[in-house]
Amino acid sequence: LEGTTTPEQIIAAMREIVENDRVLTADEADRRGFLVDPLGKHLGRPACLVEPISTLEVSAVAKRLSVAGIPIVPMGGNTGLAGGAVIPDRAAVMISMRRMDGIEPIPSGASSVAVDSGCILANLQMAARAADRLFPLSLTAEGSCQIGGTIATNAGGINALRYGTMRDLVLGLEVVLADGRILDMMRSLRKDNAGYDLKHLFIGSGGTLGIVTRAVLRLFPKVTRSATAMVAIRDAACSLRLLADMREMFGERLTSCELIDRASLALVLRHDSAARSPFADPPAFVVLLQLDGNDADAGLETDLEEFLATKLECGLCDDAVVAQSSSQSEALWHLRHALGHVLRHAGLRFSHDISVPVEAQADYVEEVVRSIARSWPEAIVRIYGHLGDGNLHTIICFPDRKPSDDPSGSIRRQVDDVIDGIVMAFGGSVTAEHGIGSSYIGRLVATRSSDELNAMRAIKTALDPDDVMNPGKIFAL
């Protein structure tokens, strides 16, 4: 391959390693929808898309491409929101992990499971459930996102409050490096201080350091008792007091605590025909609470009702509903998950996936609303997300403009500056769970010190000196 650039030659070289029908031309990949991300952004044209079925194939492909300096773009379920699978301008090969989707059998009482990285998250959740265990990572895209992608992005989701992000759920990892070397770190140890814990470099690396091929993931006791409530609240400060009181009262049984503001809920109710609000008057905020326990928690629902009754009495909450059945619980959660698809009706919009310290969230919300109103009185601020984790999705919407109405990106830059300024003043992060990908490189540079960025670059250079692993993500070179 040395010196070659034509897609035909790259395809021929790939077909020497994997079977013909697992090497797709760019046209085939495009026809099958593999090249458009969930934001509708076209990822670009790879020379081809390869679908390996084993770690050895991934390794052989990587080795062949890296000696020729041809970029490798790993593809999971294509559900990422930060442009993490954008194809670089040079001839590149996309490696789809979708055919490597095995799950090892889960013996009863197992505390971990080995999976292939192309395994779809919902399939792993189901396999765990069938073995009376729980794999707790849960997010809106769980029906199509893949384990490898959730590792590469260190996904968070709705249960991170209790179970942590993907980083907290990975015990072992197998990774193929740019030059094809295989790092087999498939250990299932809870404690392991033998040298640097290399797996953590790859978790959250956005595919820039290597391709995750397999993982050992933690399993937990299954949930047998649950209670779900939606609470109407007048301001963000009250929602933080409710969160603190809930944690005090229910401890680790509090699995999720999600916030949705009035404008976000209104958008769901307007555009999702299955959505029903439990409240007659739209509250300023709603908080969605999920408690999970086991057989010792038979009274969970009653306990939650009694707890919320006292919060209504003292005026912390204005209204509350506790789901009386699993279908009512699903209906409440539907309001939260529907946000993923109704935002496209919000006109020109700029999404920020920020985090600030948990206690700072009310001040953050107030500051964002005030600053945006000052600069753009016509804008609608929508804030929703993972209150328990200090991770609020902040969407600045211009309802009277079309998504294409900012061609030069000048409004985007101004909005970013305002939000980033507020986030940094609170000691926060400009991306809490979606990652930097190719979309937020400038904002990484703007918000981290050059020493921190250089340390990141040094790691990248050590593991991928020729910049073939997912180039153009995290760093602009």
Residues that bind ligand LAC (CB under 6 A): 140, 339-340, 385, 393, 433
Q: Least distance (Å) from ligand LAC to the CB of residue 155? A: 8
Question: What's the order of all strands across the beta sheet hosting 72-75?
Answer: 23-25, 48-50, 93-96, 72-75
Residue closer to ligand LAC by CB (options 46, 385) is 385
- In the complex, what is the shortest distance from the CB of residue 200 to ligand LAC, in angstroms, rounded to a whole number? 22
Distance of alpha carbon 35 from alpha carbon 16, whole angstroms: 24
Residue with the two structure tokens 């260190």: 154
Nearest to ligand LAC of 57, 433 (CB atom) = 433
Nearest approach, Cβ of 335 to ligand LAC (angstroms)?
Answer: 12
Please compute Rg for the chain using Cα positions. 23
| Of 311 and 434, CB closest to ligand LAC | 434
Show Cβ contacts of residue 351 under 8 Å, excluding neighbours closer than 6 positions: 81, 343, 393, 394, 395
C-beta of residue 364 within 8 angstroms of C-beta of residue 356: yes
217 SS3 class: strand
- With beta carbons less than 8 A apart as the criterion, state whether 141 and 151 touch: no
> Residue 58 Cβ, how far from ligand LAC at the closest point, in Å?
28
For 401-409, the CB contacts below 8 A with 24+ separation are 401/347, 401/348, 402/347, 402/348, 403/344, 403/347, 403/348, 403/349, 405/348, 406/348
Break the chain down into helix, strand, coil percent, rounded to 5: 40, 20, 40
Nearer to ligand LAC among residue 389 and residue 467 (C-beta): 389
Q: Which is nearer to ligand LAC, 93 or 161 (CB)?
A: 161
Which letter does DSSP use for residue 36 in this model?
B
> Per the structure block, which two tokens stand in for 109?
């009482």
DSSP H helices, 258-391, are 262-271, 300-313, 326-337, 339-342, 361-375
- Residues 6 or more apart whose CB falls under 8 angstroms from that of 166 comprise 137, 150, 151, 153, 154, 155, 156, 203
Comparison of 140 and 224: residue with beta carbon closer to ligand LAC: 140
Q: Which is nearer to ligand LAC, 58 or 339 (CB)?
A: 339
In 321-409, which residue ranges form alpha helices assigned H by DSSP? 326-337, 339-342, 361-375
Phi, psi of 57 (to 5 degrees): -65, -45
Q: Residue 393 or residue 460: which is nearer to ligand LAC going by CB? A: 393
- Measured from the CB atom, is 207 or 385 closer to ligand LAC? 385
Strands 380-386 and 391-398 turn out to be antiparallel
CB of 267 within 8 A of CB of 384?
no
Residue nearest to ligand LAC (CB): 140
Question: Cβ of residue 433: shortest distance to ligand LAC, in angstroms?
Answer: 6
| Contact status, residue 180 vs residue 60, Cβ threshold 8 Å | yes
Q: Which is nearer to ligand LAC, 48 or 335 (CB)?
A: 335
Residue closer to ligand LAC, measured from CB, 307 or 384: 384
- State the nearest-atom distance from the C-beta of 466 to ligand LAC, in Å: 33
Q: How far is the CB of 420 from ligand LAC (least distance, A)?
A: 18
CB 184 within 8 A of CB 466: no
Smallest gap from Cβ 246 to ligand LAC, in A, equals: 19
Smallest gap from Cβ 395 to ligand LAC, in A, equals 10
Write down the least CB distance from residue 339 to ligand LAC, Å.
6
Show the 3-state SS of 129-183: HHCCEECCCCCCCCCCCEHHHHHHCCCCCCCHHHHCCHHHHEEEEEEECCCCCEE
CB of 345 to ligand LAC, least distance (A): 16
